[in-house]
Each structure stands twice: as structure tokens, then as C-alpha cells.
Amino acid sequence: MFCCKQLRLYRFQQFSTFRWCSQVFDQIEKESRRKIKISLFQDALKQAQEFKVKEEFIRFTLCDVNSQSQLIEAAVPANVLYSAIAQTYNLEFSLVERLYGEINSMNNFEDVFNAHKKSTSIQFSSLFQKIQEIFELSGGGCEEQKEVLVKDLLSLCSSAQEVKYLIRFLKKRMRIGLSTQSVSQLLDESERKRLLGYQSGSGDLQKGIPIQPQLAKSFQKENKEEEITMEKIKKKFLNDDLGGCYFEYKYDGERLQVHYTNGEVKLFGRSLEEKTNQFKELSNQLKGHFDNNKFDDVILDCEMICYHNGEILPFQEMQNKTYENSVYLSLVCFDILYHNKQILLNKTYSQRLQIYNSILKPITKQRQVISHIISHKFANENEMDRFYKQALLDGLEGIMIKRDTFYTPGSRNDWLKIKKEKDIDLVVLGGYYGQGKRQQWLGSFLLGIYENGRLHPIAKIGTGFSDQKLEELTKRYMSKPSGSCPSHLIGFKDQPHVWFSQNDVWEVTYDTVSASPLYPAQNSQLNTGISVRFPRFKRERPDKTIEQSGPIQDLVEEYFKVQKKEFL
DNA sequence: CGTGACTGCCC
DNA sequence: ATTCTGC
DNA sequence: GCAGAATGGGCAGTCACG
């Protein structure tokens, strides 16, 4: 009897301390094979369950304290966190910012830490509770309180490893190579609803709880370097079979999942946050529409767009009308997951299409509360191509092509998006230190464009580099004497960590031009700065001079073009 | 009470 | 959002 | 092909500060 108690006590301390948790994470992080990562996590989950900290352990893994309340602010603003670290370990703030705000290898940190080490590790459940208290703070003066509490937490750590994962949690980047998708697979549906806030759609569907949306993949992503042709799309995506697939315009708005059940409307965003209150007026209009039209219970997949005087406004306009004046908001439905007591996930798209077309009216130039998208079938590449080109002429983002398959939550396999991408030559002005796996490199760069004899910032860029390229670029620019901020950019709000003394030309791919409150690049026709949406690195252009960047005139014209499109 | 910095969520 | 990476 | 982890512009909301 006594022995048993001793054993239990021993195991309890082994398994439910924060040290146990950080050791599990360390193991998972070091393991590169995903299957093994998952099984390590699964084992840990069993132990966590045994000691009644399963929920906390999962939330810690996913850096999610409590998804119940949307109003919770950032747990710990970066500067508060850094300041707490700096004070706890007697470090310069700037050193924390550069180095210890993101602990990767233990080499540097262990010495610093050892002087402040606690000999016993805190119980995991009590650590989690303390973290929760931090999250619950809000209002004036809360940052100061948070700082105090974070200092407490840091001082409770018994190993440098614990500090590492605590910091990562507070920064909301656990980066152990295992995240929501893998965790989700290990949960049953009720745990999934409770802990992740969504349902997978396998088995029963519960209305009023969001379902992971199905997603699309991009055609150009799999076909870099090459021109988009409908012939290639037909061959690669459709297996030369045009028969079963549908073509639709891709509206540039905001994805919303609509649940209407028992006379109640609920809206959910793409990341499954509830948006009912954020779009209250739209929600009420929808309820009115559904009530009046004798609607059955439904779950609809829609794009929210914004109308003004018979025109659909571009994305940027929608964003800032959204909260001010929701009378313009409108939904375009493009799929249906549930209708009249029937789960439709395992119906083909043809069948679902027929249902949503039968209960909604097609989209028109005049705003309706809710309408449906128009689907087309095409017999050959010419028709496909004409449709795509017409979409671009009409000012849309591009088109979607959908296979005639079941609705698969989370999958990107059956929907293809085709967007027009453009290239432009820009000048690299400086660099910003990277985070996480890019900590020892520059992680992004400031780009400029030549106008009126000077270079003007127009965007940052941080994707499109292979690891090797990024390392090479970092070495190249960091080994040169660094430049300084040009006098005309002293007021620029997002100063690079390193200004480059040599300004090279890079070819950059982007999607659209946007009005910018941050970037000063403009010309005399504009009363605002401009920038580009979705910038990505394509290649270096050593053959070009900075004067050959742009020209900005092209971007300005593109910007004006988007402003006055009709979108239908 | 207004402004600027920061964060979370859209894309 | 886009992109790259290891499995 | 999947999942994860880097990174982008820009808006609304929150909080610190003057």
C-alpha cells in the first residue's frame, strides 16, 4: 500500500512537471520524421491524460490558452516579454531582442540561465494556470502587470529548456514541427470541438460549430517558370477530362461559413473564428432573408463581398467599409455543407451545386443579401481560356476550377485557383533579421523603386528564397560595409536592421497593387503611397541598373485600373 | 482625448 | 496570402 | 501531397503615453 503510494507520487512528479513537458517538446522538435513526432506526442498525451492535464498540454502545444473568448488580447506583447527576460537574467534589452528572445540552441543561453536556476520544476498544471492569468488581464496598466507575472514565470523555470518553451509559448510560436493538423488527428470529435473549436465533419454534423473549410491550391505554385496555359491545366489537374469539372469566377472578398439553424444565424471566418457580431447587420439581414424565404437549416460556404452603387468594391475597400457601414456587405455562396437535416459533405459537387442553386438566386450587379456564384462547364481549352481572360478583364482575381468530388474539409486537392501573377524589378535597400529557423540569417528585405532620382521604399519581401539562397544573400550583404539610412528616408516607419551599401535589382512577383499608408513610393498622379500584394522573390537581376527598376508608372496605372472595375 | 505602436485576423 | 522543406 | 514554418500588405481594435 505504502509502496504504491510512493510509486504514484514519484510518477506524478516525473510526468506532470513543466520539466517533463519541455523534455517531450525537445524530443519532438529534434525528431524529423513526422510519424515518430506524432507517436511521441501521442505517448505524452496518454501520460498527460493520466495526470489530468491533457487539455492543458494540448493547449500549450498549440500556444492556445483558451479559444472561448475572442476578446482576449495578445498574451504578452513582444516588448513586454523581452523586457521581462532582460530583467530576469540581467541582460541588455537589445541582446534579448536579437538573441534570447528566440532561443534556438542552448549553447549561449545555458550559462546565462544557470545563475537563476530553480532546483525543482513547477507542476505543469500550476504553470498553465499562471499563464492563463496573464491572458485574462486586459485594460489600462495590464502590460505592466503582465511583465511582473512573466518575470515570475521565468524565475520558476528549473532548466534552460523550460525557459525556451515558455518563451516560445508566449510568442505563440512553438515550432516543434507538430501543430494543429497533427493534434487534430489524435482527438475525437468532441475533444476537437472543445479544444480546437471546430468539427472535422466525419460522422455527425453539429450545426452552429464551424467545419474546417475546404481550400484550393494554386496552379502557378506547381508550375513555376512556365507560362500558364489551359492545355497544361487540363492535362495536369484534370487528367485530360474536362467533363466533370466546374469553372467559376474567384471573388476577392472574405470567406464566411454561414450556419442557419432554428432561426439563428452564425458566421465563421476562414480560421473558424466566430464573426456573427463583427458583421452584426449582415447577420440580421441574413436572418431576415432566411426567415422570409422559409429556409431550412443550412450550412453555406460563401465569400463576403462589398457593393457600392451597383459595383463590387476591391478587397481593400471592402476591408475598410466592413466595420463602418455594413449595409453594403453581401454574400456569394459557392458551396453547401448541410441542408434540411442532410449532411452534404459526401455528395459530389454536382449534387451540392444543384441544391444551392435551387435555394438561392444567381449573383447580379445589384446587391442581394445572399446569392450564388455562377458555375460553368467547358468543352475545350479555348472556352476555358476565354473564361479566364474574361475574368481578368472583369477585374476579378482569377478563376477557380473544381473537380466533381466530395467536400473534404482542410483539403487543397480538388480546387484549383488560377490567378494572374505579374513581375517587376525592384531594388533591395536593406535587410531585417530573421526569426526562428531563420534567426542566423536575414529573414526579409526592404525593396525600393526608382523615381525622380531617388529610391523609395515600396514593399518588404520575405518569401521565395530557398534556404541556400537566403544564406548566400545574407553572407553577401552582411560581409559588405553596411550603409546608412538615406536622408530622405529618416522618417520611414519600418527601418531595416541593416541598410545595404550596394543596391541590387531583384525580380519580384506580385498579385496586385494596393494603396499604402506606410510605403512612400508614389508619383505625381497619386495622393497616396502604393505597395504590392503578395510580393515574392523570383530572381536576382545583376544585368539591371537601379534606374531600370519599375517603372512606377506601370504600377500606378494598374492601381487605377483596379479602382474602376465592375466585377461581374 | 488623440496618436502611435503593436497584435490578430483578413487576404 | 506564397513559398520552401522533409517526409 | 501534406504539414509545418518562414515570410508579405493592410485593416480594426487595444493599450501606452503625452
Q: What is the spatial distance, in angstroms and rounded to an integer, between the CA atom of A221 and the C1' atom of D1?
A: 13
Are both A142 and A234 inside the same structural domain? no
Are both A429 and A543 inside the same structural domain? yes
Are both A411 and A438 inside the same structural domain? no
A33 contact to strand C (CB, 7 A limit): yes
The letter for the amino acid at A335 is: D
State the distance between the two ends of chain A, measured CA to CA, in whole angstroms.
Answer: 77
CB A398 within 8 A of CB A228: no
Whether A200 maps to a domain, the answer reads no
The Cα–Cα gap between A507 and A536 comes to 9
Instruction: Place A106 in a pLDDT band, splitting at 50, 70 and 90.
Output: confident
Residue after which a domain boundary falls, among A369, A395, A417: A417
Q: What is the spatial distance, in angstroms and rounded to an integer, between the CA atom of A134 and the C1' atom of B3?
A: 27
Q: How far is CA A544 from CA A98, A403, A506, in A?
A: 34, 43, 9
**Nearest residue (Cα to C1') for D9?**
A533
pLDDT over 70 at A326, yes or no: no
Q: Could you please report the per-residue DSSP string of A60-83?
A: HHTT-S-SS-TTPPPSS-HHHHHH
Q: How far is CA A287 from CA A240, A485, A543, in A?
A: 43, 55, 60
A252 contact to strand B (CB, 7 A limit): yes
Per DSSP bridges, beta strands A370-372 and A329-339 are parallel
- φ/ψ (deg, to 5) at A538: -105, -60
pLDDT over 70 at A69, yes or no: no
Are both A263 and A318 inside the same structural domain? yes
Q: What is the spatial distance, in angstroms and rounded to an integer, between the CA atom of A13 and the C1' atom of C7?
A: 35
Residues 367-426 of A with CB under 7 A from strand C: 417, 419, 421
Are both A404 and A432 inside the same structural domain? no
Whether A199 maps to a domain, the answer reads no
Range of the domain at A67: 12-170
CB A304 within 8 A of CB A256: yes
Report the CATH number at residue A376: 3.30.470.30
Q: Could you please report the per-residue DSSP string of A168-198?
A: HHHTT---SS--HHHHHHTS-HHHIIIIIS-
**Nearest residue (Cα to C1') for C1?**
A534
Instruction: Place A6 in a pLDDT band, splitting at 50, 70 and 90.
Output: very low
Are both A268 and A341 inside the same structural domain? yes
Sequence-ordered list of residues with C-beta below 8 angstroms from that of A131, at least 6 positions apart, any chain: A65, A75, A153, A169, A170
A26 contact to strand C (CB, 7 A limit): no
Local structure of A303: helix, strand or coil: strand
Whether A144 maps to a domain, the answer reads yes
A126 contact to strand B (CB, 7 A limit): no
A255 contact to strand C (CB, 7 A limit): yes
CB A344 within 8 A of CB A351: yes
Residue after which a domain boundary falls, among A383, A417, A451: A417
The Cα–Cα gap between A338 and A382 comes to 35
Whether A523 maps to a domain, the answer reads yes
Q: What is the spatial distance, in angstroms and rounded to an integer, between the CA atom of A519 and the C1' atom of B4?
A: 16
User: DSSP letter at A218?
Assistant: E
The Cα–Cα gap between A51 and A49 comes to 5
Top-confidence residue, A220 or A169: A169
**Nearest residue (Cα to C1') for B4?**
A493
Local structure of A428: helix, strand or coil: strand
Whether A41 maps to a domain, the answer reads yes
- pLDDT, residue A337, reads 98
**Nearest residue (Cα to C1') for D12?**
A323
Residues A435-466 pLDDT 10s = 999 999 999 999 999 999 999 999 999 999 99
Whether A354 maps to a domain, the answer reads yes
Whether A503 maps to a domain, the answer reads yes
3-state helix/strand/coil string of A232-270: HHHHHCCCCCCCCCEEEEECCCEEEEEEEECCEEEEECC
Residue after which a domain boundary falls, among A389, A417, A445: A417
Q: What is the spatial distance, in angstroms and rounded to an integer, between the CA atom of A254 and the C1' atom of C6?
A: 32
A467 contact to strand C (CB, 7 A limit): yes
Instruction: State mean pLDDT over A537-544.
Output: 98
Are both A395 and A447 inside the same structural domain? no
Q: What is the spatial distance, in angstroms and rounded to an integer, between the CA atom of A87 and the C1' atom of B6?
A: 21
Nucleotides of chain C in contact with protein CB (under 7 A) are 1-7
Per DSSP bridges, beta strands A311-312 and A298-308 are antiparallel
Report the CATH number at residue A27: 1.10.3260.10
Domains: count for chain A: 3
Residues 477-516 of A with CB under 7 A from strand C: 509, 511
- pLDDT, residue A119, reads 86
The Cα–Cα gap between A306 and A330 comes to 6
Per DSSP bridges, beta strands A415-419 and A398-402 are antiparallel
A534 contact to strand C (CB, 7 A limit): yes
Are both A156 and A35 inside the same structural domain? yes
- pLDDT, residue A74, reads 66
- The fraction of chain A above a pLDDT of 90, given in percent, is 82
Nucleotide nearest to A321 (CA to C1'): D11
CB A472 within 8 A of CB A491: no
pLDDT over 80 at A68, yes or no: no
Local structure of A274: helix, strand or coil: strand
Are both A291 and A362 inside the same structural domain? yes
Report the CATH number at residue A510: 2.40.50.140
Are both A89 and A162 inside the same structural domain? yes
Whether A182 maps to a domain, the answer reads no
Are both A496 and A535 inside the same structural domain? yes
Are both A130 and A221 inside the same structural domain? no
Burial class (CB in 10 A: 0-12, 13-18, 19+), A544: middle
The Cα–Cα gap between A212 and A518 comes to 34
Residues A214-262 pLDDT 10s = 999 999 877 776 778 899 999 889 888 888 899 999 999 999 999 999 9
Residues 220-239 of A with CB under 7 A from strand C: 220-221, 224
